[in-house]
Structure 1
Amino acid sequence: MPLIDMPLERLKQYNGVNPCPSDFDLFWDEALEEMKAVDPQLQLIPSEFQAASADCFDLYFTGVRGARIHAKYLRPKNVSEPHPAVIQFHGYSGNSGEWWDKLSYVSLGYSVIAMDCRGQGGESEDTGGVKGNTLRGHIIRGLDSGPNDLLFRHIFLDTAQLAGIVMQLPEVDADRVGAMGGSQGGGLTLACAALEPRIKRLAPVYPFLCDYKRVWDMDLAVAAYDELKTYFRQFDPLHEREDAIFETLGYIDVQYLTKRIQGEVLMGVGLVDTVCPPSTQFAAYNKITSEKRLAIYPDFGHEGLPGFSDRTMSFLSGL
């Protein structure tokens, strides 16, 4: 089979190379306390798009640092009992997508919530206030201000806060909430379930935001990870701070969050993925201690994985 990374047997044992900060768990415990202290000021506004089978809303809440976060929320009509919900996360620089493609899960009797990541292609705010490059690059945004100002810290917290909000909706059964997404959405699915461990089932696909140093060592700081190269070229051309930089990025390395996941995991991975290298994905997967299984596509990269959407729906239909 094609090989751009380690052989499969080594991938199954791989444990990551990006340094993990010694206070990683304390960092995230304190971040969650900050999140819990925020008044979300929840708003549900009927959307212009409506469907015969669903009530559709623009959902807004206030996240950490005062940002207003937007999500699309669809709930099935004429369902009186509390029912399951699925939270969807989008790819890097994208948005929550269109309304129509969420109706398949509504047809199962599920509510669907799709979040716009702050500062990306949707309506959510990026309240800024950091030093360094803000032209592009959310991985490196806030890096020069310290780990508490990393943008992905805030985005990870947004995912957990949204999950908690969804679980408090009277029409949703808080014990039957799932999460899904690909690439950045896959990384955020893992982060969400780690920071809100009541997520019952999660289906990430080729998760982004894992094992940054491994990406660098493979010379794959291109495409989605190109900003790593941009940062070094602009702010540390002699790599005098390389170790410290990767340790700071360790605070937002999803692989070190996944040990917190309690829900059941179905993950899809392509073994010739040059955008999110397979080893980085396995670094996250191998640390999951809850029930889990992989769908491995030997000949596929960062692209549609045949049949995985159907597998995901079948998996989440067990919520």
Structure 2
Amino acid sequence: MPTTATIRTFWDDQLAHLPTPTVSATPVHGLTDTVSIDDVTFTGAHGDPIRGWFTHPTNSPTRGVVVEYLGYGRGRGKPFERLWWAAAGFAHLLMDTRGQGSQYGTGGDTPDPHGSSPHVPGFLTQGADAPKNLYYVRLILDAVAAVSAAEKLSGHNRHHVFLSGNSQGAGIALAVSGLLPGLGGVMANVPLLCDIEQSVESASDGPYLEARTYAATHRERVDALFDTLAHIDVVNLVPRSTTPALVSYGLADTLCPVAGVRAMVDAYGSDTGHDVPVEVVEYRFNGHDGGDATQLEKQLRWLRERTRA
């Protein structure tokens, strides 16, 4: 298993080579009166174009900007699908997910132009031959670039940037919180990519089964697989996070086992030398829904508390 120092050096190198994002935005007219919507493209990993929707209240100042990352298999969908952040007084950048968007929802628009070594259908084992080739390394770098894009689009600095996501999106948000200091907050529901090796052993549904199938087929590469995936395991990334967090999980979650999420919470901010606020919401009888609208209400209240004038 790679050391913490090895993983940190890997990510420092990846961030050093991430291009400075350029951003373009084209207004979407004729759909809403009180919310402005822009069709956005910004440069992500390897300079690849990443699509998104940027929304904000029309002719009104915003309390901050929420950068949202999507769940597994989802794309950015239609421009009017996620207006609650703008309705609450926040600007909002929804990042499309490269190569995904055809499994749930209403589609995506961002291709992934990079190939892969042999892998199980899906995304978790794409590029599993080496950390630098991992699909999720590209996706996490896209997510880092999205923070810079959100700052440019909204006019807010990093202290007023808040990250949000469910499942895959939550794992990505947590990874970014560990790579970028000084963010305003991170809201992560039922996160993927937590304690990956143990989660692969215990999950009974979802993306972790891709790695189990890969390991069962490539019997001689089991250790190498998990050594590679350790570079995207957020348990190894969040110890340096200084960002306050709101995390939810369901005890009945079969896709993202609760033990992995708890391991992430235990590691969160552990290398900073001080207590980083982490609020955890447990849903005793729920699974991978992450609390649904009940948790969204908690997020809205948490955000407004953190941006109170």
Say what the alpha-carbon RMSD is for the aligned residues: 2.0
TM-score normalised to structure 2 length: 0.88
The 5 Å alignment of 1:13-28 reads 22-28=5-11
Q: Do the aligned partners of 1:21 and 1:248 also contact (CA within 8 Å) in 2?
A: no
| Residue range with higher mean Cα deviation, 180-189 or 135-144 | 135-144
- Confirm whether residue 232 of structure 1 aligns to residue 218 of structure 2: no
- Confirm whether residue 302 of structure 1 aligns to residue 288 of structure 2: yes
Q: Do the aligned partners of 1:200 and 1:262 also contact (CA within 8 Å) in 2?
A: no
Counterpart residue number, 2:59:
78
Q: Compared with structure 1, are the counterparts of its residues 49 and 215 closer, same or farther at alpha carbon in structure 2 (3 Å cutoff)?
A: farther
Counterpart residue number, 2:115:
129
Aligned mates of 1:66, 1:137 — CA distance in 2: 23
Counterpart residue number, 2:125:
140
- Confirm whether residue 315 of structure 1 aligns to residue 296 of structure 2: no
2:139 alignment partner, one of 155, 163, 171 = 155
Give CA deviations for 1:18-40 in whole Å, capped at 9, x if unaligned: 865650110111111011xx143
Q: Compared with structure 1, are the counterparts of its residues 264 and 21 closer, same or farther at alpha carbon in structure 2 (3 Å cutoff)?
A: closer
Structure 1 runs (4+) deviating above 6 angstroms are none
Aligned mates of 1:262, 1:78 — CA distance in 2: 33
- Confirm whether residue 208 of structure 1 aligns to residue 192 of structure 2: yes
Task: Name the SS for the 1:46 alignment partner.
Answer: strand
Letter in structure 2 aligned against 1:140: T
Q: Compared with structure 1, are the counterparts of its residues 49 and 132 closer, same or farther at alpha carbon in structure 2 (3 Å cutoff)?
A: farther
Q: Do the aligned partners of 1:82 and 1:173 also contact (CA within 8 Å) in 2?
A: no
Counterpart residue number, 2:73:
93
Amino-acid identity (%)? 28
Aligned mates of 1:250, 1:157 — CA distance in 2: 16
Q: Compared with structure 1, are the counterparts of its residues 202 and 213 closer, same or farther at alpha carbon in structure 2 (3 Å cutoff)?
A: same
Q: Do the aligned partners of 2:62 and 2:91 also contact (CA within 8 Å) in 1?
A: no
Counterpart residue number, 1:105:
85
> Aligned-pair distance for 1:216?
3.0
Letter in structure 1 aligned against 2:186: L
Q: Do the aligned partners of 1:76 and 1:106 also contact (CA within 8 Å) in 2?
A: yes
1:272 alignment partner, one of 229, 252, 256 = 252
- Confirm whether residue 169 of structure 1 aligns to residue 153 of structure 2: yes
> Aligned-pair distance for 1:130?
2.9
Letter in structure 1 aligned against 2:64: P
Aligned mates of 1:170, 1:197 — CA distance in 2: 19
Aligned mates of 2:21, 2:222 — CA distance in 1: 37
Aligned mates of 1:22, 1:213 — CA distance in 2: 19
Aligned mates of 2:121, 2:173 — CA distance in 1: 23
Q: Compared with structure 1, are the counterparts of its residues 155 and 225 closer, same or farther at alpha carbon in structure 2 (3 Å cutoff)?
A: same
Q: Do the aligned partners of 1:213 and 1:246 also contact (CA within 8 Å) in 2?
A: yes
2:238 alignment partner, one of 258, 266, 272 = 258
Counterpart residue number, 1:248:
228
> Aligned-pair distance for 1:46?
1.6
Task: Name the SS for the 1:75 alignment partner.
Answer: strand
Aligned mates of 1:143, 1:86 — CA distance in 2: 31
5+ residue gaps in structure 2?
102-107, 270-275
Letter in structure 1 aligned against 2:165: G
5+ residue gaps in structure 1?
1-17
Counterpart residue number, 2:175:
191
